[in-house]
Structure 1
Amino acid sequence: MKLFVEILIIFLASVNLLITRFALVRLRQPTTVPLWLIKVFTSALSPLLFAFSLFVSAIGLVFYSTPVIIISGCSVFLYLIHIVQTTRAPDVSTGLKNMFDDNSESRMEPERKSLLLSKRYVLWLPKSPEPIFEQDIPFYTIPGKDRSLLCDIWQPPKNIKHSGLAFIYLHGSAWTMLDKDYGTRTFFRHLASEGHVIMDVAYRLFPEADFMGMVHDTKHAIAWMKANAATYGINPERIIIGGGSAGAHLAMLAAYTATSKLLTPVDLQQVDLRVHGVISLYGQSDLVATYYHTCQHLTTHSALSKKNKSGGMPSWIQKRMGKDFHRLGFDKDAEAGMLTPMLGGTPDEKPEAYSLFSPITYVHQDCPATLIIHGKQDILAPVKAIRQLHSCLKEVGVPVAMHLIPQTDHGFDNILPKISPAAHNAIYDVERFLAIMAIREPVVSRIPKILSHPFCY
């Protein structure tokens, strides 16, 4: 019996040790959705896997089992390395403290500062008080169609003082799938408990809309929030826009082209669409770089995409998801993340289109303050391109901070955010960026002039 138990423990310890590979090692292209999911879940669960390794080590000591002690000891060491790496602060030269000349964080009200996370990893996110939550609010109706664009609004709890700042959030989507209110409730509850108003936007996706339509939807969201600022107790000049992945790409495009006629819908060309800041969570800054990084030049499908026909997913998964299977677009024929159909060709065939919808094209000295958070092992949004965006913004004098989180892949913040070390690290930076922007005076020197051409760096 003792031998059987020891063999079982050795087997479990060995599996646990093998899984550490997904936490530590970068995936290679082309890859698959299951491998990516294993990696991001392993990273999020690393504190629990670390605790399990410690437990197994203790059992090994009890049984005087050298193999168990060695195998589980290696797991303890490797998971500890991963947790330390994913909770590291950004490099001093690119962090928030280097973003502005003054020490903005020291100017926060003590009451406001006490609401922020005390450190970059807190084992378990603190429970947030109940916010005021409104769902499915129309913010724009497509002309000539019975189609309203919807958003959710998260307001601070009744006992929390408003910061006067609004955060417009665009969900990740690979531009073709998913929806608002998916995997973000923990994040929004946390930010609302710090006094911010969050607008969670459901923009149109491909093939219903092309990139231009998505950017227009984003700008209509900005215009709506500015028009309704008084209703929600915010300053219309203190609006931050951001998002994850494709949402971050659209947020940067809208923020950097606020005064560009080319990417602004006709009905908004006399509206001030400038924002106070922008947040990119693993966003795509250069679509040409994304095209090659995801091996779309070599494969029919992009790295993490496949046809989302209902027949392509096991029936038990479809049944378990219920109405969310259709709501999130998993039954679409469109291939997630494929740029060729969305832009009408490859970068060689349509270079102007790829440039037109790449945020890096529009870097100029009046871009809003920008926070970039990106995984160093991102399989979908190339790190090299985001580094280049950071360099371009810094060169023209735009306040910018960048945090590249080691051993972290795409979409990390939406996976078990209550315990995920990488998610805590990202939230730590986002909440401080929002708190700083809530007390900084909006830039008023910029002239809200509509230009007939895009800014080009």
Structure 2
Amino acid sequence: MNTAMNQALGADYDTKIPVELKANMRQQPFILTDVFRGISLQKTRHLTNINFASPAGVKLKMEVYQPAKVGKYPAIVFIYGGSWQSGNPSAKPEFNRYMAARGYTVFAIDYRHAPKYKFPAQLDDVNSALDFIRSHAAEYEADTDKMILFGRSAGAHLAMLAAYQPNMKGIRAVVNYYGPVNLTQGYNEPPIPDPINARAVLKAFLGGSPQQLPTLYQTASPINYVVDNLPPTLLIYGSRDNVVEARFGRQMYEKLRNKNTAILLEIPWAQHSFDSIFNGVSNQLALYYTERFIAWAVNS
């Protein structure tokens, strides 16, 4: 993982991270005592129930996590997973609190769910959230010239789609935790075993199969948006993931790496949603490199 970071960002990438920020970051990729005592989250401010849009009469809300001290901070926009069908901005708040305590304003956003609302409704909602964040940046102490899009699973898929749109402003980087990238292939080659019934999930999200809707599947696949000069991308997958297989992360990395800054970190024993255990081995590894990647991106 160190080698992957150094190859993509340069062996001296950590010199671009301010000393005061680095001092508050995790000092080792894995700390055994944290498995038992937990990872310190420290004091933050937390705002809830912020309505940012109401498409088709559906009230979409976000939560905001801020450092304890008033200021102006780089923004992390977090998008939850749940097969595009479930979830809410309150999901897995530990990461949001952790990053807020280290000098970021974190926006955890909502989006409409399939099957009632099909793609591109979810991407439209992410874009609405980004517009709201930009227009209310001063109120929430966010520097919208330094934004990171971060997503897990279905949320990572949406984060990549949003970050890779032409003329997207202020996005310094995108972080993808085990997100689907090639929906056509994901449908045609489902995992074995297939715990969530991948084909049923994709039909609910898009309204049919790739044989019925080939263009829509292409449009909804982040791998088809790879061009020059995209925001730097961090991809983290688990080798034992049977929901979104690591081969899709490798496929995305291979397409990105020739034209863009991209890092693939594959955790050998990890499964889907490995970061659900925040103080576990897999998440400690992911967190160590994720916070360094984000710090590099907003300070480069």
Q: What TM-score do you get using the length of structure 1 for normalisation?
A: 0.61
1:136 is matched with which residue?
A: 49
Cα offset, 1:295, TM superposition: 5.0
Distance 1:230 1:393 in 2: 34
Cα offset, 1:289, TM superposition: 2.4
Kept in 1, the 8 Å contact 2:172–2:298? The answer is no
Distance 1:146 1:351 in 2: 30
1:352 is matched with which residue?
A: 215
Cα offset, 1:101, TM superposition: 4.2
Residues 388, 209 of structure 1: CA spacing in aligned structure 2 closer, same or farther, 3 A cutoff?
same
Matched, 1:431 2:282: no
Residues 351, 392 of structure 1: CA spacing in aligned structure 2 closer, same or farther, 3 A cutoff?
same
Return 99-108 or 381-390, whichever deviates more. 99-108
The structure whose Rg is larger is: 1
Residue identity matched to 1:223: D
Kept in 2, the 8 Å contact 1:290–1:382? The answer is no
2:28 is matched with which residue?
A: 119
The structure 2 residue matched to 1:177, chosen from 79, 86, 89, is 86
Kept in 2, the 8 Å contact 1:176–1:336? The answer is no
CA RMSD of aligned residues (A): 2.2
2:186 is matched with which residue?
A: 290
1:104 is matched with which residue?
A: 13
1:93-141 Cα offsets, whole Å, 9 max, x none, are xx22222347231132222101110111113143222210001101112
1:371-425 Cα offsets, whole Å, 9 max, x none, are 11111111111222221111111112x11111011011101101x212x100111
Kept in 2, the 8 Å contact 1:289–1:382? The answer is no
Cα offset, 1:226, TM superposition: 1.6
Distance 2:243 2:188 in 1: 10
Distance 1:409 1:197 in 2: 29
1:200-255 Cα offsets, whole Å, 9 max, x none, are 01111102321100011111111111222222333211111121000000110111
1:454 is matched with which residue?
A: none
Secondary structure of the residue aligned to 2:157 is helix
1:421 is matched with which residue?
A: 281
Kept in 2, the 8 Å contact 1:255–1:274? The answer is no
Distance 1:295 1:101 in 2: 35
Alignment of 1:269-348 (within 5 A): 273=169, 275-294=171-190, 303-305=194-196, 338-348=201-211
2:113 is matched with which residue?
A: 205
Kept in 2, the 8 Å contact 1:218–1:254? The answer is yes
Matched, 1:157 2:68: yes
Q: What TM-score do you get using the length of structure 2 for normalisation?
A: 0.91
Distance 1:152 1:336 in 2: 32
Cα offset, 1:150, TM superposition: 0.3
Distance 1:188 1:135 in 2: 13
Number of residue pairs matched? 296
Cα offset, 1:274, TM superposition: 5.0
Secondary structure of the residue aligned to 1:276 is strand
Which structure has more strand as a fraction of its residues? Answer: 2
Kept in 2, the 8 Å contact 1:303–1:380? The answer is yes
Secondary structure of the residue aligned to 1:235 is strand
Question: Matched residues, percent identical?
Answer: 26
Distance 2:10 2:269 in 1: 31
Matched, 1:369 2:232: yes
Kept in 2, the 8 Å contact 1:192–1:198? The answer is yes
Cα offset, 1:337, TM superposition: 5.8
Residue identity matched to 1:427: L
Kept in 1, the 8 Å contact 2:196–2:243? The answer is no
1:215 is matched with which residue?
A: 123
Which structure has more helix as a fraction of its residues? Answer: 1
Distance 2:207 2:139 in 1: 42
Distance 2:30 2:257 in 1: 28
